[in-house]
Amino acid sequence: MRWTSALQSLADFTPDAKTQMSRVLLAHLPRFGTPKSAAEWTERAAHLRQRLLDEVYLRGWPAAVRTARPRVEWSAVLQPEGAPYRIRKLRYEIYPDYWVPALLYEPHQLHGRVPVVLNPNGHHRGGKAAMYKQARCANLARRGMLALNFEFIGMSELEADGTHNQQAYLSLVGLRGTGLFLVAMQRGLDVLLDHPHADTSRVAMTGLSGGGWQTIVLSALDPRITCVIPVAGYTAMWARIGCRSDIGDYEQAPPDLGLVADYDTFTALLAPRPTLIILNDQDDCCFTTARAKPVIYDALRPTFALYGVGDDGFALHGNADPGTHNYDADNRCALYRFLNRHFGLDSPATDLHTPAEIYREEELKVGLPESQTTVADLATRLARRFALTHRAPASTAEREALRERLRAVLRLPHFVPVVKEDVASGRLRRILLTIGPWTVPVVLHRGRRGQPLRLVLADQGVAELFAKQPPPADCSAAVADLLGCGPGQDNWQRLMLFEAAGERVLGHQVAQALAIAEAVLKLTGAQQLEVDATGPVTSFVALLAAGFAPERFSRLVTAGLPASLRLPLEWRLPYEQILPLCCPDLLTVADTPQIRALVPQIPHDQRLRAVRAD
């Protein structure tokens, strides 16, 4: 029998992964329904805000950080030529040794209380120096408003954080990574409202793209924002399933968000505050008007209407000039008109700034202290602490207690495999298993009599693995690709949505491995099987599967198993490659050595062991 033909059979046998995942996500993610009354929604909204803070965004965060007043350090002042405002440089601390640089646009002539505008930015390398953002803040200051322009984590002066998806590292060690973004927004708002001329009744927030995402999140969770203008920044998670460009990054779909609310609900949380949703008709990034408008505007008008809010208070602007992903002149003019209406201003509806007011990025640099940490460094320090303090279970009772804690953190489902199809051809059997919501194909080959039966798994998929390292033609093996593994599997962003829906990819991978092993043993009559896994993810899955059901396995062979979960963090492995290993709170429960101690009786051969020389 040729393994190449067997693996081709596996490829031909594999159901469409995107279709499977989309079906599961649609069943899991919530939909918003219009409430019966304004009073009902006001009461429910307060409860939802607290749950979102406690269960999603700030879960695991120390109370001292959640409630702290910002430590602020002011530095240089810029005076744009001929402009009636100054730009004050500052930085504020959001976590010990983590500072956010910002710019306060402050009019020269301030009398009494004036409106304030919080200005987050999106995924633009210029960060707070992005030209469209400078222009917006300059125009707000020219109209007599205070405007705070703060840096986005991972951009410009905070580029040392690298890809901001590394916030998933924090979730692994017990802090929800998206909480750092939320605290950065909250402390920036604190800085604005601490200004002696700030009018707390006229507080706006607006931003493009990732800045639009920040706008909807903070405004939904913090009623201090009284006027909301997100630009091309979001849609409901359930509406993103079929459009990969709309799914976004980790912070936009944090773990467990769907257990509490989706972004259509976030829009309802804004009611009855004045809200202008700006979308771009031909957006070349995400959230085009046609896709997002029915979800976050049309469907929410009845909720705003419960409060007597009409189209002037809950408005939509569809940008056609240029219509791409932008916060350029047309969108800024829509902003000015909306602020005039709701803040009682009488200012021009066009830009007022001059080219001299736009600075180069280096001129707007605030500077960071030498002690500045990064998201990855913070996560790594916590991971090392857990790695040093965890103790291996030494008794039967301790091992069972650890299994229970692992089941909880993995949200491990129990699946009974059902054979949907079993086709034999010589020594080759193609088996289609139903495992919970998943359809998983398995290729089973019985080799020479007396050989042990081996279950083969691989991060990159068994077809690619065998193309590089073909096994002997007479070996006995069952091969399968787990959720998220192999070239035919779904992309990492929908796996991220799966965790946002309250599930854990690692938990489902372990459940699939256990179910496949159970089915293969039953179909072959074997008592036990070996498991051979290549890659850090499937190696860890294999170790966990053996730990949960040691009676099914006679030997464990791994290649690339992390000797500690802190290693992928120290090596800055991309989240997209190790998504299952970033399982929230996992490292607070156990590390690799403790899980290995669940099965001391099972021989373990390690190839390409993932350890450093030290």
Domain closes at, from 346, 365, 384: 365
On whether residue 209 sits in a domain, the answer given is yes
What does the pLDDT average to over 55-72?
93
β-pair type (314-319, 477-480): unpaired
pLDDT at position 11, please?
A: 63
- Please indicate, yes or no, if residue 543 is contained in any of the structural domains: yes
The reply to whether 306 and 439 lie within a common domain is no
pLDDT of residue 164 exceeding 90, the answer is no
Is 538 within a domain?
yes
Q: What is the mean pLDDT of residues 56-71?
A: 93
How many domains are there within the chain? Answer: 2
431: CATH: 3.40.50.1820
The set of residues, in sequence order, having a beta carbon less than 8 Å from that of 281 and lying 6+ positions away, is 288, 289, 290, 318, 319, 320, 323
Q: 357 in a domain, yes or no?
A: yes
**Strand order across the beta sheet in which 477-480 lies:** 418-425, 428-435, 438-445, 477-480, 454-458, 529-534, 553-559, 604-607
- DSSP state at residue 84: S
Task: Say if CB 180 and CB 167 are below 8 A apart.
Answer: yes
Mean pLDDT within 85-100: 97
Confidence class for position 5, pLDDT limits 50, 70, 90 = low
Residue 14 has pLDDT above 90, yes or no: no
Same-domain status, 419 and 332: no
Closest CA to 141 of 74, 184, 82: 82
Q: Is the pLDDT of residue 1 over 50?
A: no
| Residue 17 and residue 93 in one domain | no
| Confidence at 398, pLDDT banded by 50, 70, 90 | very high
Same domain flag for 446 and 580: yes
Band of pLDDT at residue 609, cut at 50, 70 and 90: low
Q: 215 and 118, same structural domain?
A: yes
Domain of residue 458, residue span: 3-22+394-607
Q: Report yes or no on 613 lying in a domain.
A: no
Residues 280 and 218 in one domain: yes
User: 7 and 104: one domain?
Assistant: no
Alpha-carbon span 418 to 519, nearest angstrom: 8
Q: Say whether both 320 and 245 belong to one domain.
A: yes
372 domain residue, yes or no: no
Cβ-based neighbours of 387, under 8 Å, separated by 6 or more: 564, 565, 566, 587, 591
CA-to-CA distance for 119 and 73, rounded, in angstroms? Answer: 19
> Rounded mean pLDDT of 15-40?
93
Whether 282 and 419 map to the same domain: the answer is no
Pairwise CA distance, residues 590 & 595, whole Å:
7
Element counts in the chain: helices (H) and strands (E): 25, 17
Q: Looking at the structure, do residues 425 and 527 belong to the same domain, yes or no?
A: yes
Question: Does residue 155 lie within any of the structural domains?
Answer: yes
Residue 273 maps to a domain: yes
Q: What is the mean pLDDT of the chain?
A: 94
Are 147 and 239 contained in the same domain?
Answer: yes
Q: Which residue has the tokens 């001292």?
A: 64
Given pLDDT bands bounded at 50, 70 and 90, which one contains residue 612? very low
Specify the amino acid at residue 310.
G
**pLDDT tens digits for 337-357?**
999 999 999 999 999 999 999
Residues 53 and 16 grouped into a single domain: no
